[in-house]
Amino acid sequence: MYYYVYDEFVQDPKFERDLALIETRLTDLGIAGKIARLALFRDPKELIRDEIRKGAKTIVAVGNDITLRRVIDAVGDSGVVIGVVPVGKDGNILSSILGIPVGVDACDILSARIIEELDIGEVNARRFLHTVHVPQVSQVEVVVDKGYKMNAFKKCTVEVRNLALEGEDVRAANPVDGKLECVLRTPSKGLFKKNKLNTSIVPAKDLQMTLSNSVKCIADGEEFESNELRFKIIPKALRVITGKGRKF
């Protein structure tokens, strides 16, 4: 049984035609199901978990990366399959990495049901699939796997990555290797006194991070604030529908 979770923003009239096409295609493919519209409910967790107790086997986020993250939080360790139908032009980095196209074409990916078991990251009991961004702080201490310790005393930024594309100074983060990647960037003076960044990349299963001050971090597009961050990896925690064009 499929259960579709519509984010509040997709109920804007500008998405009316897109949703009509999506719903028609889902019906044609024989995978239409019950719909929850999050604007009508205060707590999507209990709503989704109640449907899982009633027998829902596939929970589909209809929206963007934040919608998907909310579904991941709600699904927990239930073992149900997670899908996504991206809507709109913005905020769909995760679905792109998973090989899911925006709009009605995503329905065919759902129907094909190529399921991957992915690792999930957790920070302060908040789950994330993609990345946690920590903005610039003046000092940070990182304890890796409850042993090795790193300190940065200059202004620095931190990323903790589970599923992410290759960048200029980082490799792609693999969501099936059983590890997170901590990326620490600190400024330094380069040739002719030009500013450059030194990048350190450390794989870990467990990270304890103490910041010099409380800051607003971003986990898969959603903000939270803290100066103490506790990370861990949960291997093969998610069963996710992916497309053939997935980027990992």
Judge whether 243 lies within some domain: no
Judge whether 182 lies within some domain: yes
The Cα-based distances of 166 to 17, 103, 120, 169, 171 in angstroms read 35, 25, 19, 8, 4
Answer with the one of 88, 112, 136 that is the final residue of a domain.
112
Q: Are 38 and 69 in contact (CB under 8 A)?
A: no
Same domain, residue pair 69 and 140:
no
Same domain, residue pair 58 and 23:
yes
Same domain, residue pair 6 and 107:
yes
Give dist(CA 15, CA 89) in Å, integer. Answer: 11
Sign of CA dihedral 53, 243, 175, 211: negative
Provide the domain count of the chain: 2
Q: Is the pLDDT of residue 205 over 80?
A: yes
pLDDT over 70 percentage in the chain: 96
Same domain, residue pair 154 and 101:
no
pLDDT, tens digit (0-9, with 9 covering 90-100), for 99-158: 999 999 999 999 999 999 999 999 998 889 999 999 988 889 999 999 989 888 778 899
Same domain, residue pair 80 and 163:
no
Domain limits for position 136: 126-233
Same domain, residue pair 104 and 175:
no
Burial of 183 (0-12, 13-18, 19+ CB in 10 A): buried
pLDDT class for 221, splitting at 50, 70, 90? confident
Taking residues 215-243, what's their average pLDDT? 94
Judge whether 121 lies within some domain: no
Judge whether 238 lies within some domain: no
Position 134 scores a pLDDT of: 94
Same domain, residue pair 95 and 137:
no
Same domain, residue pair 80 and 11:
yes
Same domain, residue pair 135 and 94:
no
Specify the CATH number for the domain of residue 88. Answer: 3.40.50.10330
pTM recorded for the entire structure: 0.85
Answer with the one of 89, 112, 135 that is the final residue of a domain.
112
Position 155 scores a pLDDT of: 83
Answer with the one of 65, 87, 112 that is the final residue of a domain.
112
Range name among 28-37, 44-53, 226-235 with the lowest pLDDT average: 44-53
Judge whether 77 lies within some domain: yes
Judge whether 117 lies within some domain: no
Same domain, residue pair 194 and 146:
yes
Same domain, residue pair 41 and 142:
no
Judge whether 119 lies within some domain: no
Q: What is the mean pLDDT of the chain?
A: 91
Q: Is the pLDDT of residue 248 over 90?
A: no
Judge whether 96 lies within some domain: yes
Same domain, residue pair 94 and 143:
no
